[in-house]
């Protein structure tokens, strides 16, 4: 929007949007937005001015903006070749095309795009940021911004977010191009990144197996989902398997929906942050062995009835494309891979995770936004831009990239994510999920990752949860035993968080 490094990084996309990622507001001075190099709007005087005419005999030194265009699931760096092949299935250079267009509007500036990217390697990023040699614009997993801003390594976007985006028609403030609940501010109340894309998330299903099992439409509720599992098992196919347990995040949020309203008191925003969770635990408001958790684990267990034998060591993606599993959980990059996979011999579709209704659970009725897990790729402005005096120009370039039409061009060419800017069109493959998200957002559904104890309770608990919950689902331990062991891990992990963050409990 985490647990093992892989878990935390995956979830930081899905969840930290939930829990971490967040964006800003936007605006316009009435300039026309454009989708191509022709009919370009004038640059915004609020961010940077065009270069003044110089003596043609004197060379003008351009300001160089270096962009390290990493991404969450796929990078935005240009490929070495634009020829499509098995080794290069998605040739890409749209960021270079957009940069060339922007340079024509800013003859005083030059965009240098790094390929391959460097800042995704945290050790490299730390060394460069500490030395003031990082690219002006970089990608990092969202959690790192809160480590970096106190050191002055990354710059806040707030002053820019309150300006119009001159490349987006009718925009009053740049931040208006984003969903406010996903614009997670850092501890100082400022925003230190600009969202580039959002992660499509849901279930891919085998249309042929659905038809053979007599399932004429994708299930919507958990009751319908479990019925679909039974029908698929009846024709001798494994119904379902997760690549990762993303649906568990939506399920736990739904089960704890009423509690979220009670516990979201320190920073009321519809999301339980880590301090709010620690407060709830220390005040005995959250308990590991609770009616909510018993319902949550009961439903998790029932879902595994559709898993194939040996699921804990089965490659879910491979099982799906070879027709051995009818449904898998997936994000955009998996959906793209299924689309391209030559092993797949069947038609497929996508659907959202099921919702928990009031009729099927005493804790049902409030659900998580479906279709996307929130912002994924987000780019930061570094201390290098401040040192070089290129921050305003770099921010203007990001405005150009995030106008709805340009954001769609930047993102959609890769077919791996949904553009982050409101009003940007998604590719056809992701359109059903994008439309579902828009409807759920309009209907006031809970933010993705509004509550997920495995992250909120800290890494020690997250690791214990990862192992013990699998043991329970495999039948190695009972539910009572699970709660005893999770309770021990919770106490230890929360105490570590209290010592680490030194929370002011007088405010609780």
For 213, how many CA atoms within 13 A lie in the half-sphere containing its CB?
25
Instruction: Supply the pLDDT for residue 184.
Output: 79
Residue-wise over 157-173: b if at least 16 C-beta within 10 A, else e?
beebbbbbbbbbbebbb
| Backbone torsions φ then ψ of 324, nearest 5 degrees | -90, -20
Got the DSSP string for 95-125?
A: HHHHHHHHHHH-TTEEEEE-SS--TTSHHHH
- The pLDDT tens digits along the chain (508 residues) read 433 333 333 344 333 333 333 333 333 333 333 333 333 444 443 444 444 444 555 667 899 999 999 999 899 999 999 999 989 999 999 999 999 999 999 999 999 999 989 999 999 999 999 999 999 999 998 778 888 999 999 999 999 999 999 999 999 999 999 987 788 788 788 999 999 999 999 999 999 999 999 999 999 999 999 999 999 999 999 999 999 889 999 999 999 999 999 999 998 888 899 999 999 999 999 999 999 999 999 999 999 999 999 999 999 999 999 999 999 999 999 999 999 999 999 999 999 999 999 999 999 999 899 999 889 999 999 999 999 999 999 999 999 999 999 999 999 999 999 999 999 999 999 998 899 998 998 898 998 889 999 999 999 999 999 999 999 999 999 999 999 999 999 999 999 999 998 999 998 9
Q: How many CA atoms lie within 13 A of 190 on its CB side?
A: 16
Domains of the chain plus CATH, in order, are: 20-45+61-196+377-425 (3.40.190.10), 208-373+440-508 (3.40.190.10)
Q: Both tokens of residue 199? A: 């992660």
Contact between 406 and 334 (Cβ < 8 Å): no
Within 15-142, residue ranges assigned H as helices are 94-105, 122-131
pLDDT at residue 57, rounded to an integer:
59
Q: From the CB of residue 331, how many other CB atoms can be counted at a distance below 10 Å?
A: 24
Q: What angle do CA 321, 300, 255 make, to 5 degrees?
A: 125
Whole-number pLDDT of residue 265: 94
Please check whether residue 374 is in contact with residue 10, taking contact to mean a CB–CB distance below 8 angstroms.
no
Phi, then psi, of 123 in degrees rounded to 5: -65, -40
Q: What is the pLDDT of residue 6?
A: 36
Q: Among 402, 407, 395, which residue's Cα sits nearest to residue 156?
A: 395
- Nearest by Cα to 463 from 452, 453, 454: 454
**Residue 181 confidence (pLDDT):** 72
Please tell me the predicted confidence (pLDDT) of residue 59.
67
pLDDT at 267: 86
**Angle formed by the axes of helices 404-412 and 391-402, to 10°?**
80
Report the chain's C-alpha Rg in angstroms: 24
- Cα 280 to chain centroid distance, Å, stands at 26
Q: Note the pLDDT of residue 56.
A: 55
Whether 254 and 449 have beta carbons less than 8 Å apart is answered as no
Question: Nearest CA to 271 among 17, 442, 454?
Answer: 17
Judge if pTM exceeds 0.85: no
pLDDT at 224: 97
User: How far apart are the C-alpha atoms of 215 and 205, rounded to whole Å?
Assistant: 11
pLDDT at position 20: 36
Token digits of residue 114: 């790094």
Helical residues (DSSP H) of 256-340, grouped into ranges: 257-263, 274-282, 291-303, 316-321, 332-340
For residue 330, the model assigns a pLDDT of 94
Q: Find, among 354, 391, 98, the residue nearest to 239 by Cα.
A: 354
| Distance in angstroms (rounded) separating the CA atoms of residues 22 and 249 | 18
Locate 475 and state its tokens: 């039948």
Task: Provide CB contacts within 8 A for 320, sequence distance 6+.
Answer: 204, 206, 241, 326, 327, 328, 338
């Amino acid at each position: 929007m985490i647990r093992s490094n892989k878990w935390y990084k995956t979830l930081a996309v899905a969840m930290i949007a939930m829990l971490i990622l967040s964006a800003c507001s936007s605006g316009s001075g009435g300039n026309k937005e454009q989708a191509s190099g022709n009919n370009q709007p004038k640059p915004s005087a609020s961010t940077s001015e065009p270069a003044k005419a110089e003596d043609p005999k004197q060379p003008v030194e351009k300001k160089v903006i270096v962009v390290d265009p990493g991404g969450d699931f796929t990078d935005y760096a240009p490929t070495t070749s634009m020829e499509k092949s098995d080794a290069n299935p998605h040739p890409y250079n749209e960021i270079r095309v957009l940069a060339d267009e922007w340079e024509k509007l800013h003859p005083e500036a030059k965009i240098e795009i790094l390929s391959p990217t460097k800042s995704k390697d945290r050790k490299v990023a730390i060394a460069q940021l500490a030395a003031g040699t990082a690219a002006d614009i970089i990608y990092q997993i969202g959690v790192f911004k809160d480590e970096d801003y106190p050191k002055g390594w990354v710059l806040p976007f707030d002053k820019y977010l309150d300006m119009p985006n001159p490349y987006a028609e009718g925009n009053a403030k740049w931040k208006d191009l984003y969903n406010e609940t996903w614009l997670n501010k850092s501890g100082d109340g400022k925003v230190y990144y600009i969202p580039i894309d959002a992660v499509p998330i849901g279930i891919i299903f085998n249309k042929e197996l659905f038809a053979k099992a007599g399932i004429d439409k994708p299930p919507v509720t958990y009751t319908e989902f479990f019925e679909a599992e039974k029908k698929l098992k009846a024709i001798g196919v494994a119904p379902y398997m997760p690549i990762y347990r993303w649906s568990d995040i939506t399920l736990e949020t739904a089960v704890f929906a009423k509690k979220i309203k009670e516990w979201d008191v320190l920073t009321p925003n519809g999301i339980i942050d880590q301090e709010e969770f620690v407060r709830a635990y220390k005040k005995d408001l959250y308990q590991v062995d609770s009616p909510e958790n018993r319902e949550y684990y009961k439903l998790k267990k029932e879902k595994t009835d559709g898993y194939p034998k040996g699921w804990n060591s089965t490659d879910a993606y491979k099982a799906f494309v070879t027709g051995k599993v009818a449904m898998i959980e997936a994000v955009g990059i998996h959906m793209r891979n299924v689309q391209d996979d030559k092993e797949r011999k069947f038609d497929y579709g996508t659907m959202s995770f099921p919702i928990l209704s009031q009729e099927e659970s005493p804790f049902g009725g409030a659900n998580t936004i479906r279709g996307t897990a929130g912002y994924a790729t987000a780019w930061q402005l570094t201390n290098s831009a401040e040192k070089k005096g290129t921050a305003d120009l770099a921010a203007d370039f990001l405005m150009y990239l995030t106008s709805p039409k340009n954001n769609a061009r930047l993102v959609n060419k890769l077919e791996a994510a949904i553009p982050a800017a409101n009003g940007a069109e998604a590719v056809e493959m992701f359109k059903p999920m994008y439309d579902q998200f828009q409807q759920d957002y309009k209907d006031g559904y809970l933010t993705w990752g509004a509550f997920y104890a495995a992250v909120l309770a800290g890494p020690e608990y997250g690791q214990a949860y990862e192992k013990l919950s699998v043991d329970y689902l495999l039948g190695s331990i009972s539910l009572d035993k699970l709660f005893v062991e999770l309770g021990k891990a919770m106490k230890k992990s929360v105490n570590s968080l209290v010592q680490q963050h030194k929370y002011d409990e007088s405010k609780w």
